[in-house]
Amino acid sequence: MILYYRDDAVQVTSEAIHAGGHVVRLADITYAWHARGATTLAVRGRVLGRGVLVLLLSLPPLVALVCVLSLAWAAQDRGNWKLALIILAAFVVGGLVLHPFLEVPLGWLDRSYERGSQVHELWVQHHGKEVMLLRTPNALRFGQIYRAVQRAIEQQSERR
């Protein structure tokens, strides 16, 4: 028996797929496909949170840039080039100091894109009936499971 995928809720082997309380033998599967399901509140919240995070990450630096440029422009306009250069240098150094702190929110943003913005469903035709084996909003996990099912079915058909 070959294990293609396993987590706490799904297991795909060379003999069967265990998912959603169903155990489906690969030999009994005629066809497998994926579909987009209805969007859930969690998925909508993820997309909204992603937008808020992007806004929070981009707005303060833009406001700070405008303020620094206007201060530097005003300082050089009055002939005080030294102050203008000090303001610009302080802004650059401040940006470099704060840069490492962006790793955490940017990581959150990356993970939200990995999880996706849709609900994915895995369907199989089993003994002439269409059965939904899995429904998840996690795009990365769904892709791994679906690919494992494809490999298992391909290997099963090669053995026949």
Quick one: 128 and 108 in the same domain? no
Distance CA 130, CA 144 (A): 21
By the 8 A CB rule, do 5 and 11 touch? yes
We report the CATH number of the domain holding residue 126 as 2.30.29
- Domain of residue 16: give its range: 3-39+118-159
Q: What is the structure's pLDDT at 44?
A: 66
DSSP states of 24-67 as a string? Answer: EEGGGEEEEEEEEEPPPHHHHHHHHHHHHHHHHHHHHHHHHHHH
| Residues 61, 102 share a domain | yes
Ranges 39-43, 100-104, 149-153, most confident: 149-153
The C-alpha atoms of residue 152 and residue 15 are separated, in whole angstroms, by 8
Q: What is the pLDDT of residue 67?
A: 78
For the chain, the residue count is 160
Calculated CA dihedral for residues 31, 36, 42, 46, nearest 10 degrees: 120
Which pLDDT score is estimated for 43?
67
d(CA 99, CA 54): 16
Instruction: Tell me the pLDDT band of 83, cut-offs 50, 70 and 90.
Output: confident
Question: What tokens were used for 93?
Answer: 């150094």
Across the range 101-115, mean pLDDT stands at 74
Q: Please say whether the beta carbons of 66 and 87 come within 8 A.
A: no
Q: Are residues 35 and 64 in the same domain?
A: no
Specify whether 130 is located in the same domain as 108: no
pLDDT in tens, 2-60: 999 999 999 999 999 999 788 989 888 888 898 887 666 666 676 677 777 776 777 67
Q: Give yes or no: residues 110 and 93 share one domain.
A: yes
Looking at the fold, whether 106 and 78 belong to one and the same domain comes out as yes
What distance in Å separates the CA atoms of residue 13 and residue 5, rounded to the nearest whole number? 7
pLDDT of residue 38: 66
On whether residue 24 sits in a domain, the answer given is yes
Q: pLDDT value at position 147?
A: 95
- Within a domain: residue 70? yes
φ/ψ (deg, to 5) at 136: -145, 145
Q: Is the pLDDT of residue 97 over 70?
A: yes
Do 76 and 110 fall within a single domain? yes
How many structural domains does the chain have? 2
Q: What mean pLDDT value characterizes the chain?
A: 81
